[in-house]
Structure 1
Amino acid sequence: MGARGRRGNNVSHDGPDSSIVIAGRYRLERRLGRGGMGTVWQASDELLGRLVAVKELHVDGGTESKGALREARTVAQVRHSHVVVVHDVVEHDGRPHIVMELVEGGSLADRLAGDGPLGPVETARMGLDLLGALRAAHARGVLHRDVKPANVLLEAGTGRVVLTDFGIARLAGSTTISETGAFVGSPEYTSPERMQGAAAGPESDLWSLGVLLCTALTGKSPFHRDSLGGVLHAVVSAEIRPPAQAGPLAPVIRGLLERLPQRRMEAAEAERLLSAYLRTGAVPAAADRAPGPGAEAASATGAASGADGPDGPDAVVGYSPTEHVVQPSAPASRRTRPALRAGLIAALFAVAVAGAVALTSQFGERSADGARGAAPATASASGRASSSPAPAPASAAADAKPARTASAPVPRPAPAGYRTVSDAEGFSLAVPNGFQRSTDDQRVFYVSPDGAFRIGVKTSPAASEGPVTVMRLSHASGPTTNPGYRDGTVVPTTHNGLPAALWEFTWNGFTAAEGARHTFDVCWEENGRMYDVWVSAPVGRLPEARSHFDAALDSFVPGG
């Protein structure tokens, strides 16, 4: 809902015939800007004798138009000094038009392009203003969904910060994919959960604010890449490091850029920290909450690779990717697994290669595993070939790097149809009723009565290479350990805040009668041990396999 009135050469002077009058009182004078969601005009309110901004929304008539009008009227009820004032919502020629205050001044994007980055103090003040605006909107159940520098106006003369362009706002619970399949929002500023097709919540706007603060401090979005596919990968998977320019604001940025929405810093906490910084020049300790997935990952990967991560020396921000995302209709405790996220990443890259910005929310399915109680040890579910490097002894691993410790997992009751088992190998997890335990010399299996599903667990001393490298070595030797190995992928992720890797692949099974199978496999290090948990199932029964994989990972407790 752009409402800026730019001055001088920044103003576009192409406009409509001055005889066009909207709702009998708003005479359109000149076009101020045009975007994917609408066109903004400077107009004269002939009834009250004042200049206003009129945004014509680019929606078709009928149900879509009525829905946009209804949402715009809801946005108009948001009253806050840092939210653009909406004067009126009307319909003209079958299209909704939103009439709002005309803010004289440019956007934050204009300021960054012309004058360069802001300092921490100015960024903190702006962040406080925008947090207030978002909290006012969220209190009304309104999500902005496109918080970015172009939608932050800086009023000339007063310095007032105004959040505008609620044109794509929706009530809480909507997703990133519109009814027509178009992507809603700006990818560089869109939260990981929205990228993955989950329902948007207030946390999604707070992620966007965290990205905006980074952009204000550096002049460049931390997720800017040369292609849409690169942007999508950066948001969903790439390591995030707070920029050096963040200085004292780094704790706030870290908190807002938590990939797991449940761990993301809340608006009240961010306000507390920013206010304290502006009063004292220092940011106090954040409120006691679960550590973010980036704390350990940043020290581990950052120390090893420095600033030159996989996305190049200019890659800023980052926490390691999280394996979970809230589903639209699920309670907060219900999360999808890394397998689903990896499938979605593949789908997003396919979209990028095609050059499209319309996305689907379907997850690609791949197949999995290679773990069977009766199988020889060399054909392991985790795909470890006998030629793979042996795991380093626990003492050597301790010398190479400090032990990584997850926040203490909270034991969960087994889901309906499952039971919790305490295994003699030193762990506990939930397995479906009727599954029977078996072992070989390296692994433990829980196998369904018909032999179709296999849940496998392997524990070993922590490897000096780390879980991602270990999984990539397993992937490289997949054709020798799993007959018909194909579609193998290894994706860095986290498990309970610890660096981890997800390996997925399809293979032919150990016998022709067994048929094609798919494996989901997550590997991580914890307290000097490496844990490998996987599920193998027929390719035609992947929904059940995912449920078993969810239950196993969600309930897994070392030392149970």
Structure 2
Amino acid sequence: MDAGEGQRLLAGRYALGERLGRGGMGTVWQARDELLDREVAVKELTVSHLPEEELEILQSRMKREARAAARIKHPGVITIHDVLEQDGRPWIVMELIDGRSLADVISQDGTLTPREAAGVGTQVLAALHRGHQLGVLHRDVKPANVLLEHGTGRVVLLDFGIATFEGSTELTRPGDLVGSPDYLAPERAQGERPGPASDLWGLGATLYAAVEGESPFKRSSPITTLAAVVGEPLPEPRRAGALGPVLAALMAKDPADRPGADQALRMLAEVTAGHTLEIKAAPAPRPQVEPTQSVPVVDRSGPDGPDGSNGPVAAPEPPTARLTRRRFWPRVLVAGVVTALLAGGATYAMTGKSSEDPNPPVSQSSPAPMPAPKGYRWTDDPGGFRFLLPTEGGTWVRSVENTQIYYSPDNRQRYLQFAVAVGQPLEPIAHFRELETTVKSGKDYRQVALTKVDVNGAEGAVWEFTYTKDGIRRHVKDVEFRDAKGTSYTLLVATPDNDKDWVVGQRILTTVLNEFVPTR
């Protein structure tokens, strides 16, 4: 079969058609494979004005792209059909996908919802994870390299042109920095060796752009952009909702603080499924906690905390409403969490019994649903719930004060707090507003969020705020929901208000919420 008049024929087989797009390294054409009678895409290296040495590097990168993509057999990675050379430069023949890049979708249609973005992220992460298992790093994850296929929901990761894999040589010269600056992980911006966590940073920045409309650290020049990536905290997302804590975890400055692929997939799956605080979701067969919402209010790290007389106190009994032993949105309602952060140092009447136990009793009444992930162990709390207790960052000690259950590795500089209140008369949002009337008089109080939410069909609320105590800025997040029988559940996390501690705190909270199981 001959190519039509005016069409260019490659290798006597691929008839070039219309141009589909152009990137930094080349042009992509729609073509027809005359031998197999199918539509394909062909990528041509179109840079020719560079010095010979740089042109050779680009040609080698393009060939590496084909090898890297061909090495990964995964639906989220484009299929490579052929690699050929013509006119002294390489051409890659690949599967033709009818779709648009995520960058085009954002610019043409607007931002994605958190749930949509999480769905895209799940597929991209699955493709990255498969590559990482084979020793392949992508190194340029960004919206322009994520393709959304029309009508199928399939998401494909493109452009492995600067990918690296085990056993290959580096196709850069000293001082070269490859990748898009505003999607480059901090360690790469500082010239350190990249790893799988570097690709997860790029994924986080990509999903941030998907929901916010632009990358978090884009500035007026590459230099100022890289400086922001390395030195500035992640801007608080405005539209991310339940996806926010996932973004914060993926874009932790230290790669060691980022979640692994398995944990990140679970976090994204929760958001995609709608089991989140910000998304109203019909009750599901296995309701789960939302990975992005955090915990209760008030810092009770010492004798100078909230004034216990000004707020409701959680009942000491475990919930009387029947709770099945399936994963349930862990919102051990912070009933009774009143944080009196009163200026001048108000005192918190600590009249309840306090006890500490680094190894609380573990009930064997029911088996753990799955092996604990790295850095956690299953703990059955005597209060009537099972959760994943961190094993890193020190020994997490359990203590109880006025029916509030705490776990902390450092005398409540950082801690998790649980509470259950039976017969709570106030709806969660009203409860939080009542608590806030006391807390907002504390030093430097600033509300981050106070929102009514639907938690798997139950009324709920989330309250996040910062304040200063004992000269230390604190960050707290509190989630509460009330079931049909009036039992309220709350879970709270509190850390010093700095980027590193808060990212780790939210990641811990996400893990605890995802796997929380009432046992009574």
Partner Cα distance (1:275, 1:245) in 2: 18
Any conservation in 1 of the 2:69–2:77 contact (CA below 8 Å)? no
Q: CA, structure 1 residues 74+108, in 2 after alignment: closer, same or farther (shift >3 Å)?
A: closer
Residue 180 of structure 2: aligned partner: 186
Partner Cα distance (1:202, 1:192) in 2: 13
Partner Cα distance (2:183, 2:95) in 1: 25
- State yes or no: 1:25 paired with 2:13: yes
Any conservation in 2 of the 1:258–1:265 contact (CA below 8 Å)? no
**Cα distance, 1:126 vs structure 2:** 0.7
Structure showing the higher helix proportion among its residues: 1
Partner Cα distance (2:157, 2:58) in 1: 24
**In the alignment, residue 243 of structure 1 is paired with which amino acid?**
P
RMSD across aligned positions (CA): 3.6
Any conservation in 2 of the 1:177–1:197 contact (CA below 8 Å)? no
- State yes or no: 1:229 paired with 2:223: yes
Matches within 5 A, 1:156-305: 156-171=150-165, 178-179=172-173, 181-279=175-273, 281-282=275-276, 283-284=289-290, 288=376
Residue 94 of structure 2: aligned partner: 100
SS at 2:239 equivalent: helix
**In the alignment, residue 189 of structure 2 is paired with which amino acid?**
M
Any conservation in 2 of the 1:39–1:55 contact (CA below 8 Å)? yes
Could you list the runs of 5+ residues in structure 2 that have no partner in the other structure?
A: 277-288, 293-372, 377-389, 394-412, 415-443, 449-467, 476-495, 504-520
Q: CA, structure 1 residues 158+398, in 2 after alignment: closer, same or farther (shift >3 Å)?
A: closer
Partner Cα distance (1:231, 1:498) in 2: 23
SS at 1:125 equivalent: helix
Greater shift in the superposed pair: 86-95 or 204-213: 86-95
Q: CA, structure 1 residues 115+35, in 2 after alignment: closer, same or farther (shift >3 Å)?
A: same
Residue 543 of structure 1: aligned partner: none
Residue 298 of structure 2: aligned partner: none
Any conservation in 1 of the 2:135–2:166 contact (CA below 8 Å)? yes
Residue 152 of structure 1: aligned partner: 146
SS at 1:244 equivalent: coil
Partner Cα distance (1:204, 1:218) in 2: 21
Matches within 5 A, 1:100-499: 100-171=94-165, 178-179=172-173, 181-279=175-273, 281-282=275-276, 283-284=289-290, 288=376, 399-401=470-472
Partner Cα distance (2:215, 2:8) in 1: 39
Any conservation in 1 of the 2:242–2:291 contact (CA below 8 Å)? no
Partner Cα distance (1:151, 1:177) in 2: 20
Q: CA, structure 1 residues 32+400, in 2 after alignment: closer, same or farther (shift >3 Å)?
A: same
**In the alignment, residue 154 of structure 1 is paired with which amino acid?**
L
**In the alignment, residue 32 of structure 2 is paired with which amino acid?**
S
Residue 27 of structure 2: aligned partner: 39
Partner Cα distance (1:46, 1:215) in 2: 40
- State yes or no: 1:72 paired with 2:66: yes
Any conservation in 2 of the 1:176–1:183 contact (CA below 8 Å)? no
**Cα distance, 1:18 vs structure 2:** 4.2
Structure with larger RCO (C-alpha < 8 A, sep 6+): 2
C-alpha offsets along residues 444-478 of structure 1, whole Å, 9 cap, x if unaligned? xxxxxxxxxxxxxxxxxxxxxx9xxxxxxxxxxxx
- State yes or no: 1:85 paired with 2:79: yes
**Cα distance, 1:21 vs structure 2:** 2.4
**In the alignment, residue 120 of structure 2 is paired with which amino acid?**
M
Residue 335 of structure 1: aligned partner: none
**Cα distance, 1:211 vs structure 2:** 0.4
Could you list the runs of 5+ residues in structure 1 that have no partner in the other structure?
A: 1-15, 297-302, 308-396, 405-465, 467-492, 500-560
**In the alignment, residue 231 of structure 2 is paired with which amino acid?**
S
Number of equivalent positions? 299
**In the alignment, residue 39 of structure 1 is paired with which amino acid?**
T
Any conservation in 1 of the 2:82–2:94 contact (CA below 8 Å)? yes
**Cα distance, 1:176 vs structure 2:** 9.5
SS at 1:167 equivalent: coil
**In the alignment, residue 193 of structure 1 is paired with which amino acid?**
E
